[in-house]
Amino acid sequence: MTDAQAAAPGAASVRPIILDGTSAPTWAADASSRPDEDLLDGLNPQQREAVTYRGQALLIVAGAGSGKTSVLTRRIASLLRNREAWPSQILAITFTNKAAGEMRERVEHLVGDSARGMWISTFHSACVRILRREAEQFGFTKSFTIYDSGDSRALIKRLVKEHEADAFGLTPAATQSRISKLKNELADAESYARTANMSDPAERVFVELFAAYQRELQRANAFDFDDLIGQTVFLFRAFPQVADVYRRRFRHVLVDEYQDTNHAQYALIHELTRPPGASTGSATGGRPLAGSGGMMIFEAPSTGSGTGEEDGASLTVVGDSDQSIYAFRGADIRNISEFEKDYPGATVVLLEQNYRSTQNILSAANAVISHNFDRKDKRLWTDVGEGEKIIGFTGYSQHDEAQFVADEIEALRRAGVDYSQIAVFYRTNSQSRALEEIFIRSALPYKIMGGTKFYERAEIKDALAYLVAVANPADEMAMRRIINRPRRGIGDVTIETIARYAVDQQITFRDALANSSALGVGPKIQAAIAHLDAVLAEASEIMLPASGELAPPTAVADGLQLLLNKSGYYDALRASKDAQDEARIENLDEMVAVAREFARNNPEGTLLDFLTEVALVSDADDLEDASGSVSLMTLHTAKGLEYDAVFVTGVEEDLIPHRISAGEPGGPQEERRLFYVGITRARKRLYLSLAMTRAQFGEVTVAMPSRFLQEIPLELLHWRQSPGDVNSRGGTQSRALNARRGGFGGSGSGSGKRYGDDLVPLARREPTGNLERFANKIPSKVRDNGDMELAPGDRIRHEDFGDGRVDAVTGEGAKRVAHVRFDTAGPKKLLIKIAPISKL
């Protein structure tokens, strides 16, 4: 979004009619001609109310799958269609960038181009936009850097070391999380010091660290994630006239996922929706009127709306306290539960009808969540019918469990369910590995959502640090990161020499490089420094042309390419013998491609825009679609999404509920909500799976079924293989060696309440095998069958599945896939290159 759009009509001088929302909308008498009639099609009465209600404050309590996104987008569309608001007067906050993109798309679909100029973004993105404009007001520049948690951890680590804070038991991680929590409460080092017990030396050191951290951020012209929100609030409070600009501008503020807002975000919303004008009093503005034929007519400024004062923006929040899963990062459920107190006169609309899931899935969800004692009772219902039973499965190991998931996905696929309509959830990111291994072997297309891996790779962080060094020369962290990458023979001693020189001369670290001859370092090192300085200077000419000029769209990509080439970064990787460095080159090429893609999508995008996007949209998956692939993600990432078929894996004690949260106040309840969120993502089919053993950092541990499983009524759940089946004597057989059970093997024998019992039919079991064998049956060494020639009819032997016959071979080269019918394990697809198979 450009500033030109941001400054669309109505920003300060023009104000459209705000309907008096205490009673029925003004067009109610003439329903037939209202321009938003079609927006109400297919909505139930509560949803209609949520779309059409006009007033200062509206809380929409939206149960899972109750159509809240639809309601929210239609509400925005109706404001626009009825000419109650200009696009530029709408601020909609979502939780993720992905959700923001989808909402924008849906609103555009409803109202077309007039959606342009709306702010639909996350809290963080919105605050960046505000801060970039206003940074000069309080000691920053608009080219500030955004520190992600990795960056701030690195900085804190350095400070902890410098302050020798570890002697007081302050680890970098603990310090970082404490600072983050405090910032979420809008505390700073001074205000915290006033309440802290300063006779405790550890407290004193912490306060010192906190203050030093904040100083360093300011010096580097940088904000961390929490600052983006907190400093915006600070800005609004310290400069009311600045705040008023935004208060006048945003007349309709809508916040999704309100149950997951923290105090700082709550305060921000409060500041934004407060009546403007207290500081300047010049509350004037023309008003556009809805004219026939879509013409806008502007009324002369009038004296306000009755009271003589301007109202605050109207606020709409949407949330569901049963889906609050971010307390760990400061989300305060009271924001939603006390909304009516915070906004007297607020109206509440309840959406309880679910349009997503079958009754069986909903009943299970209701049953689980009802175990949370501290909630208002709310029951989701549907009229789509019972649907399939929930399928349970217990694997012998995480790989066995993963194999079940893979097999079942193939079965769904054969039954006509598209891969893109299937998702696999897990509690912790590390669980994805076992699934990935099996999926790769099974040639099952998948996509990991939300894992920020790409941008966390060292080479990508290096590339970004080069860009930051150009964009924000004050950022010493970035400079320190790149100064010896690639190796230039510049070690700690030289770095400290430069840093000292910079302090002495009162210049930045970056500028100190320009005086390499004055540093008193050896000639080789001096030349290396001068070269780096020259490369950075050349790059900034490309990416940051002199004021007035506009950089060409390709500037960022070109500049990055130049930096990587002339710095010697590419050369160093190419010269390396390490096989991994080849992949690093590919990643960097990918990074350049991302920059070019960005230029295509944002022809006017600057280097800063690019860095902002990368910092805030850091998971690349938000940008790509997952069409044709199964989606893998954590339960947290799953919030807000829905799929025809959902697998919730690792439903074990110590995983969900996670062992760390078990002891925390409110922890088990939050974990239950997390499980609830997972369940309610499913439209038609839900699978709950677990493993009896799980390898956690080398060690194999025995896992117990999650307590949450017992909260699901027996009749809703069909165990394909229950925990009891697996625990029974003789039950340590690998599933892979068993005949395919085809949906009747387990026969629902186990129950959620009889784990470990021995009363399970054993007929189909074979007597061999032991637990260790299955604990980790994936060899870590890379296998390469790339050359194996296979043709339909060939007999093969697989390490786990036994003998089978090749039905067909598809794909090319490294991606050749064998379709094999195993004598006992049934049909499988195998990636030939890596499958543990041999020809017979």
Residues known to be catalytic: 68-69, 256-257, 323, 681
- 3-class SS letters over 689-706: EEECEEEECCEEEECCEC
**What track of x and - describes contact with DNA for positions 119 through 138 (by CB under 7 A)?**
---xxxx-------------
Does 252 interact with DNA (rule: CB under 7 A)? no
Does 780 interact with DNA (rule: CB under 7 A)? yes
Closest CA to 317 of 608, 46, 92, 34: 92
Does 168 interact with DNA (rule: CB under 7 A)? no
Q: Is 171 annotated as a binding residue?
A: no
Does 430 interact with DNA (rule: CB under 7 A)? yes
The answer to whether the CB of 228 falls within 8 A of the CB of 122 is: no
Strand extents, DSSP E, 32-100: 57-62, 90-94
Q: Is 68 annotated as a binding residue?
A: yes
Stretch that binds DNA, among 71-79, 90-98, 106-114, 684-692 (CB under 7 A): 90-98
Does 579 interact with DNA (rule: CB under 7 A)? no
Stretch that binds DNA, among 45-53, 76-84, 323-331, 732-740 (CB under 7 A): 323-331
Other C-beta atoms closer than 10 Å to the C-beta of 815 total 11
Does 697 interact with DNA (rule: CB under 7 A)? yes
The residue type found at 810 is T
Does 587 interact with DNA (rule: CB under 7 A)? no
State the minimum distance, in angstroms, from the CB of residue 656 to DNA: 9
Q: Which residues contact 127 (CB under 8 A, 6 or more apart)?
A: 228, 229, 231, 232, 268
State the minimum distance, in angstroms, from the CB of residue 327 to DNA: 8
Does 568 interact with DNA (rule: CB under 7 A)? no
The answer to whether the CB of 607 falls within 8 A of the CB of 536 is: no
**What track of x and - describes contact with DNA for positions 600 through 639 (by CB under 7 A)?**
----------------x-xx-------------xx-xx--
Peptide bond into 657 cis (omega under 30): yes
| Half-sphere exposure (Cβ direction) of 789: Cα atoms closer than 13 Å | 0
How many residues sit close enough to DNA to count as binding (CB under 7 A)?
50
Does 708 interact with DNA (rule: CB under 7 A)? no
Label residue 46 left, alpha or beta by phi (over 0 means left) and psi (-120 to 50 means alpha). Answer: alpha
CA distance 808 to 788: 14
Q: Is 69 annotated as a binding residue?
A: yes
The answer to whether the CB of 818 falls within 8 A of the CB of 441 is: no
Enumerate residues 661-690 that contact DNA by CB under 7 A: 661, 664, 667
Among 140, 192, 210, 225, binds DNA (CB under 7 A): 225
Does 173 interact with DNA (rule: CB under 7 A)? yes
Label residue 372 left, alpha or beta by phi (over 0 means left) and psi (-120 to 50 means alpha). Answer: beta
What is the end-to-end Cα distance of the chain in Å, rounded?
Answer: 62
Other C-beta atoms closer than 10 Å to the C-beta of 315 total 25
Closest CA to 426 of 617, 708, 658, 624: 658
Instruction: Compute CA 54 distance to the chain's CA centroid, rounded to the nearest angstrom.
Output: 32
Residue 691: beta bridge partners? Answer: 395
Does 516 interact with DNA (rule: CB under 7 A)? no
Among 353, 370, 429, 602, binds DNA (CB under 7 A): 429
Q: Is 220 annotated as a binding residue?
A: no
CA distance 543 to 467: 9
State the minimum distance, in angstroms, from the CB of residue 838 to DNA: 22
Does 761 interact with DNA (rule: CB under 7 A)? no
**What track of x and - describes contact with DNA for positions 467 through 506 (by CB under 7 A)?**
-----------------x--xxxxxxxx------------
Does 28 interact with DNA (rule: CB under 7 A)? no
Q: Is 65 annotated as a binding residue?
A: yes
Among 48, 116, 133, 157, binds DNA (CB under 7 A): 157
CA distance 192 to 588: 43
- Binding-site annotation: residue ranges: 62-69
| Bind-site residues for ATP | 62-69
By the criterion CB under 7 A, which residues form the site for DNA?
A: 95-97, 122-125, 148-149, 157, 161, 173, 225, 325-326, 328-329, 427-430, 450, 452, 484, 487-494, 616, 618-619, 633-634, 636-637, 658, 660-661, 664, 667, 695-698, 776, 780
